């Protein structure tokens, strides 16, 4: 079925979808890594492509920014379009003292200030975690290309500009290694649907110190992150 947000044409989604936030990054992956890539969705400029990587069918589609946006797209992909695995690939702000610019973080779990999980009606707090299968595969693929990933809890924030200037320090104090804005909703939707999700994030800045990558550094590191995700997608399809 089609939805107000996804209107398929010229194809369908693969079982594994890579999901960057930026539609232009989805286009970059499709044009530079996928063979015979076809644009299958462009509603609201959220580009989705399906093509082949090393003989396996892989899709890539943007999520937009924030948990409401990825919450819509991941829900529909999991529940309406037959997708089994979603791998988020995006940027994050490093919080842990040992993180450096351009490090790659795999989110084993996602702390959050969002009430996204309250919709499920449980009497408590859901601790959203990634798929162990996707995580272990991604670690293996990262090692194969010479990357030592950092594995830890992300902090998925609903607020990019937080009124509390000490907010990030507080979330760091309870074990959040990096901050981003999507993983918690993605993980919760995957858990609810019985599907698999993983967030792979590149440390593009260190908000507590003010350090940040240049545009060139972001491009190079993001490319490495894309390759880990693609190799994971291929293994998940086997």
Task: Report phi then psi at 76, rounded to 5.
Answer: -70, -40
- Give the integer Cα–Cα distance in Å for 20 and 69: 12
Spatial distance between the Cα atoms of 190 and 107, rounded to a whole number of angstroms: 14
Q: From CA 230, how far away is CA 57, in angstroms rounded? A: 10
- Exactly one of 22, 158, 205, 237 is catalytic; which is it? 205
Spatial distance between the Cα atoms of 74 and 203, rounded to a whole number of angstroms:
23
- Is 164 annotated in the active site? no
Who's near 201: CB < 8 A, 6+ residues apart? Answer: 88, 89, 90, 91, 92, 104, 105, 106, 107, 154, 178, 180, 183, 225
Q: How many CB atoms lie within 10 A of CB 143?
A: 12
Buried/exposed code over 17-28 (b: 16+ C-beta within 10 A; e: otherwise): bbbbbbbebbbb
Name every residue whose Cβ is closer than 8 Å to that of residue 120 and which is 6 or more positions away in sequence. Answer: 126, 188, 192
Bridge pairing between strands 150-156 and 56-61: unpaired
Task: Provide the annotated active-site residues.
Answer: 205
């Amino acid at each position: 079925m089609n939805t107000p947000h996804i209107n398929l044409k010229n194809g369908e989604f693969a079982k594994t979808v890579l999901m960057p936030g930026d539609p232009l990054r989805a286009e970059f992956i499709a044009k530079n890594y996928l063979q015979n890539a076809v644009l299958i969705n462009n509603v609201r400029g959220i580009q989705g492509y399906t093509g082949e990587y090393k003989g396996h069918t892989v899709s890539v589609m943007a999520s937009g920014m924030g948990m409401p946006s990825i919450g819509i797209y991941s829900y529909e992909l999991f529940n309406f379009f037959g997708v089994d695995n979603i791998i988020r690939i995006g940027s994050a702000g490093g919080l842990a003292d040992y993180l450096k610019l351009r490090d790659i973080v795999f989110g084993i779990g996602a702390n959050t200030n969002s009430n996204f999980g309250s919709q499920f009606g449980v009497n408590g707090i859901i601790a959203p975690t990634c798929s162990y299968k996707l995580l272990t595969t991604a670690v293996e693929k990262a090692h194969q290309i010479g990357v030592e990933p950092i594995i830890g809890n992300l902090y998925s924030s609903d607020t990019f500009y937080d009124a509390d200037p000490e907010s990030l320090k507080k979330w760091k104090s309870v074990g959040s290694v990096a901050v981003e804005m999507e993983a918690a909703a993605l993980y919760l939707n995957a858990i609810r649907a019985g599907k698999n999700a993983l967030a792979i994030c590149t440390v593009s800045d260190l908000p507590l110190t003010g350090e940040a990558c240049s545009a060139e550094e972001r491009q190079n590191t993001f490319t490495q992150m894309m390759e880990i995700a693609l190799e994971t997608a291929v293994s998940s399809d086997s």
